[in-house]
A and B are shown apart, each in its own frame.
Chain A
């Protein structure tokens, strides 16, 4: 079953603009992770934020986590055409840190 819901479902921006994607979930989590997937390819792990963290940065990526609202956001700054992909959040929970993926956001960055 899917726990996370993401919005927007699709996002189209120009190169250089920032892209923000949001993720909501329903149950308690160990951590929340963001992945990128190019069309028909495997997943690329972007960033992991633990349940006791509120914000994390990695290069042009900024992730926030609000456990009281059960939501997270991924900000990609100064986007590039190469950032065009689908982005998924995934919540990790339980002893195995089982991942449940959100529906994803399809990002298109136009040159």
Chain B
């Protein structure tokens, strides 16, 4: 199998606070993980590519100081939304690569009030 989990599944936070989202590959090791963001009724937008033991590669227009990515182990990548604002409210989805294919987590719904 190739199961990917995310935690939490949903989170509500106040404007100005930081939120950490975890992405775990449960039954395989993933050198590479990806983070996506999806606004309501829109498609998934790739935010960054996360590589274990090195800095993440961010897509154009994604603020690396706002969306901190840490891939400290072969089974865990974290995305921290710093100083969150209401416009950061979105559905965040991660994926982990195994054998050149991406396996997606169930997503985390973030609401910033």
Contact = CB atoms under 8 A, between A and B. Distances in A.
Interface of A: 1-2, 40-43, 45, 48, 88, 90, 96-104, 106
Interface of B: 32, 34, 36, 41-46, 49, 59-60, 91, 93, 95, 97, 100-107, 109
A88 B43 contact: yes
B97 A41 contact: no
Contacts of A98: 34, 46, 49
User: Chain B CB within 10 Å — which of A90, A98, A103, A104 has the most?
Assistant: A98
Interface of chain B, main secondary structure: strand
17 contacts: A1-B59, A2-B45, A41-B106, A41-B107, A42-B104, A43-B104, A45-B103, A45-B104, A48-B101, A96-B32, A96-B49, A96-B97, A99-B34, A99-B46, A100-B46, A101-B45, A103-B42
